[in-house]
Amino acid sequence: MTTPIHEYALLGDTERAALVSRHGAVDWLCLPRFDSPACFASLLGTDDHGRWFLGPVEEATATRSYREHSFVLDTVHETATGRVRVTDLMPFGDDRADLVRIVEGLDGEVEMDHEWVVRTGYGAVLPWVSRVEDETGTEVIRAIAGPDMFVLRGDRLPEPEDHHHRDRFTVKAGERYDFSMTWVPSWSEVPGALDIDSRLEDTVRHFDDWADRHEHQGRYREAVTRSLLVLRLLTDELRGGIVAAPTTSLPEDIGGSRNWDYRYCWLRDASLTLEALLGCGYVEETKLWRNWLVRAVAGDPADLQIMYAVDGARELPERELDHLPGYEGSRPVRVGNGAVGQKQSDVLGEVMIALDRARKLGVEESDESWAVQKALVDDLADHWDQTDHGLWEVRGEARHFTHSRVMVWAAFDRAVKGVEEDGHDGDVERWRELRDTVHAEVCERGYDAERGTFTQHYDTREVDAALLLLPTVGFLPADDERVKGTVKAVEEDLMKDGFLVRYRTSSGVDGLDGEENPFLACSFWLAESYARVGRIDDAHALMDRLLGVANDLGLLSEEYDPSTQRLVGNFPQAFSHLALVQAADAIVEAERAAGRG
């Protein structure tokens, strides 16, 4: 039986991440990077596609929590005979790729099952596994396949059986067993053992200190803290790229084909992540990402992509993995992402907004960073009127999506501000003129005067949840009648069981089969819109409903299926968490303005 998505916890060290189920199965892990092939892929297949299980043999109830504000996870399993705690972590900041699991007996005794199954290539490849000694003479299990070596250490090593490694042992109160798995390139020596206790302490301290620094105050502080931590975890410490989610192909609709690979760095998602971090006082992180951006987009501005690999590489060809049956049979499983080749005119606007905000918060441009922005905006000035695939990356016809046109306006607007307010150079006359032209065009062609709402694109009367962002990016004030009319139309057309879908798929605009569920980021945008127009009680009601669908660890996926009450889509998803932070910020601001803060 598959594990519901909300039953998973996230582990990670800011360069790679794993999902572990409540019952103790690490069902997803890509090594050595977020976007590397998985060595545990049973999330999208069976146990034979790789997993690491450590949990009670007998039926148990499990309660779990992160230690302080970190990603060190404590799961306490209670059986009829006793209680045992399993602590899982990926130690941070030591240039190693380890997954550590500590089993401690708390009460009575508990019989534990241990199973370690490594498969490389997303479950396709059986490695060569042997018992070897490290340089201190300690016995370890080593699995080798192509470029990868995985080394399992432990106080009890499991035994081989049908290409799995298994063990069963009893843990009594007061006993402790440590296990760790380490990835190194296959041509390396077997890596040495970790000092587990000190790595655990440093890892908790690092994340907890980081989380303590944020400035958000308000009723949703705890949810905001966990969301910021998720965003931090998805920001690659070494390379600076920010991934949209650590998973691929968790379905937007169970059993459906809307299954995509999110382990890449979208300029849109990354810029919005930065804005959320900046809004809570995390300014330094901007430099890491901005330097990544400058390296990734270096070269001809016409070659700008909408997403890159985590190290800035450009090749992300989409392919289907036929050997994997998919999460609850949701096929195909895809790796790579075909949207990489799309034109999405909103992304430069998002980048320019985030970098403008960073400048205003004192982040100085580097020699290259303004030059790169200038080149990109000049290139946009040559192609500003083209159609695109929009922020939803539709696979249907390219169109003049109203949100994209607004973001073209935003790109010129922030470029003009870079000159007027921040003293940088550039073709400001031309940018100013284009900014005003696009504004007028949107208000004329993207607005349905009869219904009093902006529309999804210039040739439709449909609406789109992205239109809620018009006041957020400064295109029009929140109390403009056209904005208010848009909020009303979006509520009328896109509400589904108390949550918001992105757009009506029935229009066929996205060129895809099947349905999708409410999109959590859009639902947070609605809460933010309510706050901006002073509907504070409505904002709280929606916020509470949304936080109510997060799992017990405060994690959210991309979408939520109200009919089955399940989180669906990739998990955890930066888009949902960054939108949560921004909605909470907007509510605090609105309460302050209304004298309710």
Ligand X SMILES: OC[C@H]1O[C@H](O[C@H]2O[C@H](CO)[C@@H](O)[C@H](O)[C@H]2O)[C@H](O)[C@@H](O)[C@@H]1O
User: What part of residues 90-119 is at the interface with ligand X (CB under 6 A)?
Assistant: none
Judged by CB under 6 A, the residue of 260, 282, 289, 370 near ligand X is 260
**CB 388 to ligand X: min, Å:** 12
Number of residues located near ligand X, criterion CB under 6 A = 15
Is 262 near ligand X (CB under 6 A)?
yes
Is 407 near ligand X (CB under 6 A)?
no
| Residue 332, preceding peptide bond in cis (omega within 30° of 0) | yes
490 vs 587 by CB, closer to ligand X: 490
318 vs 538 by CB, closer to ligand X: 318
**CB 406 to ligand X: min, Å:** 15
| DSSP H or E segment with residue 590 | helix 574-593
Torsions phi, psi for 532 (to 5 deg) = -65, -30
100 vs 316 by CB, closer to ligand X: 316
260 vs 384 by CB, closer to ligand X: 260
Q: How far apart are CA 489 and CA 481, in angstroms?
A: 12
455 vs 570 by CB, closer to ligand X: 570
User: What part of residues 317-356 is at the interface with ligand X (CB under 6 A)?
Assistant: 337-339
**CB 351 to ligand X: min, Å:** 13
Transcribe 92-159 into DSSP letters: -SSS-EEEEEEEEEEEEEEEEEEEEE--HHHHTBPPEEEEEE-TTS-EEEEEEETTEEEEEEESS--E
Judged by CB under 6 A, the residue of 418, 575, 580, 584 near ligand X is 575
Q: How far apart are CA 390 and CA 85, in angstroms?
A: 47
Q: Site map for ligand X, 371-400, x if CB under 6 A? A: --------------------xxx-x-----
Which residue type sits at 279? G
Q: From its phi and psi, is residue 182 left (phi > 0), alpha (psi between -120 and 50) or beta?
A: beta
83 three-state secondary structure: strand
Q: Shortest CA distance to 89 belongs to which of 6, 176, 37, 13?
A: 13
- 396: which DSSP letter? S
- 48: which DSSP letter? G
39 vs 578 by CB, closer to ligand X: 578
Residue 260, Cβ neighbours under 10 Å: how many?
24
Which residue type sits at 337? N
- How far is it between the farthest Cα atoms of the chain? 80
Encoded tokens for 426: 């550039």
Judged by CB under 6 A, the residue of 244, 415, 509, 580 near ligand X is 244
Of 13-21, 137-145, 160-168, 260-268, the window that binds ligand X (rule: CB under 6 A) is: 260-268
**CB 19 to ligand X: min, Å:** 17
98 vs 558 by CB, closer to ligand X: 558
27 vs 393 by CB, closer to ligand X: 393
**CB 519 to ligand X: min, Å:** 8
89 vs 526 by CB, closer to ligand X: 526
Transcribe 6-36 into DSSP letters: GGEEEEE-SS-EEEEETTSEEEEEESSSTTS
Q: Shortest CA distance to 538 belongs to which of 465, 488, 501?
A: 488
Judged by CB under 6 A, the residue of 269, 528, 559, 585 near ligand X is 269
**CB 44 to ligand X: min, Å:** 16
Is 500 near ligand X (CB under 6 A)?
no
Judged by CB under 6 A, the residue of 96, 216, 268, 374 near ligand X is 268
Footprint on this chain of ligand X (rule: CB under 6 A): 244, 260, 262, 266, 268-269, 337-339, 391-393, 395, 510, 575
